[in-house]
Each structure stands twice: as structure tokens, then as C-alpha cells.
Amino acid sequence: MNKKGNLGLFGLSLLVGVMFFMVGMIFVNPINDTITSTRTALSCSAAPATLSSGNMALCLLFDILSPYFIIAVISVAMGVITARLMI
């Protein structure tokens, strides 16, 4: 297989990967604002004894949403960058 052509495609995949990362990081602040307003509406800062089990589960879900979104953005960007290395 001809490996010389993959060097140019690696540069392109690097640019696309960085683009995915930057666009994903742009969406972090609006997502965090939405999470904060949702947690306030659910009164997640109240004592755990006063919350129902459904509200507690939703509070936990919204607590872990932001780190999982950042991890997903980083993994997609790294996947795009390293996709050319695997071919």
C-alpha cells in the first residue's frame, strides 16, 4: 500500500479533529447554563431526604452530563485525528 498519500490526509484529519474539539468546547457554556437552570428548577440543592427518588436520579444525571460531554468531545476529536493512522 502507498503510505505517501496518507501524510497529507493526516494533516487534514488533524485540522478536522481540532475543529470538532473547538466546536464542542463552544457548546460547553450553554450546556452548563442549561444544567444550572435545570438543577435550580428541580431544587437539587435541597436536602436529599426531601427529594423523591426520581428527582434524585435526575439530579445525578445532570451532575454527570457536563463531564461526559467533554469526554465525548475529546474522544471524537482524537478518533478523527487518529483515524488516518490506523488505515
For the segment 8-30, what is each residue's pLDDT rounded down to a tens digit? 677 788 888 899 999 999 999 99
The confidence band for 87, taking pLDDT boundaries of 50, 70 and 90, is low
In which band, very low, low, confident or very high, does the pLDDT at 31 lie, cut at 50, 70 and 90?
A: very high
Range of the domain at 29: 19-86
Q: Is residue 52 part of a domain?
A: yes
Number of domains in the chain: 1
Greater model confidence, 7 or 66: 66
Q: Is 5 part of any domain?
A: no
pLDDT at residue 1 tops 60: no
Look up the pTM and report it: 0.76
Q: In this structure, what C-alpha cell is assigned to residue 10?
A: 493526516
Mean pLDDT of 55-61: 89
Rg (CA), the chain: 20
Residue 38 burial (CB count, 10 A)? 15
